[in-house]
Structure 1
Amino acid sequence: MTETTHNTVTATVTDERTDLLEVLAKHRQFLRFTTRDLTDEQVGRRTTASELCLGGLIKHVTSAERNWVGFIQHGPSIMPDFTAMTEADWAKRADEFRMLPGETLAGVLAEYEEVARRTDELVATLPDLSAAHPLPKAPWFEPGARWSARRVLLHIIAETTQHAGHADIIRESLDGAKSMG
């Protein structure tokens, strides 16, 4: 990061990786903040018509980030073939959206922190953010499409941001607390 001065206005100039990681860190913090002062039972509670709970959202974002970072490193072979998933596969995937017996908020947050640390290390050391892989098979991806590491990071940011908004609604429905406002 460098600072430059133009007409008495100081501007901070950062590189692309720094910008991506700072935005991701900000939205990770918004998501984690929704769980402040809550019990394990509270983060597992559904408070809206949705099946989602706060702990489940964090588990899902953790899993998604882990999988997409694996995609950056290893390509589509690391990802499931969503077109071939069985009912049992989908049921197992649904478990990442809820708190299961024995899971704790502290454990869920620790796993999220570890995945975030590994993502940040990878982004800092990737030789080229433009390196791309074909997307895994899924009905929601265009056949033959490829994503660069940069595009995957933007997707992780979007996913984290979207779910931080969901978490804010769930938290407000739980006890009236808001992350912002």
Structure 2
Amino acid sequence: MTTTAATLLDAERSDLLEMLAKHRFFLRFTTRELTDEQARTRTTASELTLGGLIKHVAAVEANWATFILDGPEAAPDFSAMTEEEIAAWGDAFVLRPDETLAGVLAEYERVAARTDELVRTLPDLNVTQPLPQAPWFEPGGRWSARRVFMHIMTETAQHSGHADIIRECLDGAKSMG
């Protein structure tokens, strides 16, 4: 069987989709059978809650997917943010009283479907965009769509670990073991 560039690209897309699905599953799994109140409960010294993590990961994934298409305009210039804008950005980590766990999980599903569609249909995973202005990015740096998808995957996996600790402290439930 001859391996072509198209075959390799299809395999890469499949791998990206499979890994994104795996890490999203484990993050969502930490919220199984929880009430909205439990999803808002801090269980560690951190400000993080399970509902807030889901909300944050969905917002970040949505921003990165938009970045792939629109470039740095998808993210604010963090160095120019006002205190009010910083506070609003921090709200992405909080499941507010007018929000529900079911609602943020549904939004996360919508965001994931959009990202997955990009993985499947983006003509070139090598296309790059300049990174937005932020102290945590190298000045003048560029990321390919491939790197953005891997970053989404990494961030989701990292927050899955946070969520697992928060859930275990909440009621002893674990994702594994």
TM-score between the two structures when normalised by the length of structure 2: 0.94
**Aligned residue identity for 2:32:** R
Q: Comparing both structures, which one devotes a greater share of its residues to helix?
A: 2
Q: Secondary structure at the match of 1:133?
A: strand
Output one character per residue of 1:30-68: Cα deviation in whole Å (capped at 9) or x when no partner: 000000010000000000000000000000000000000
| Match among 73, 77, 102 for residue 73 of structure 2 | 77
Cα distance in 2 for residues equivalent to 1:43 and 1:67: 23
Q: Secondary structure at the match of 2:34?
A: coil
Output one character per residue of 1:107-162: Cα deviation in whole Å (capped at 9) or x when no partner: 01000000000110111000000000110000000000000000000100000000
Q: Aligned-pair RMSD on alpha carbons? A: 1.0
Q: Comparing both structures, which one devotes a greater share of its residues to strand?
A: 1
**Matching of residues 21-100 of structure 1 within 5 Å:** 21-100=17-96
Report the Cα offset of residue 77 of structure 1.
1.1
> Structure 1 unaligned runs (5+)?
3-13
Between the two proteins, the alignment pairs up a number of residues equal to 169
Q: Secondary structure at the match of 2:123?
A: coil
Cα distance in 2 for residues equivalent to 1:48 and 1:153: 30
Q: Which runs of 4+ in 1 moved over 4 A?
A: none
**Matching of residues 1-181 of structure 1 within 5 Å:** 15-181=11-177
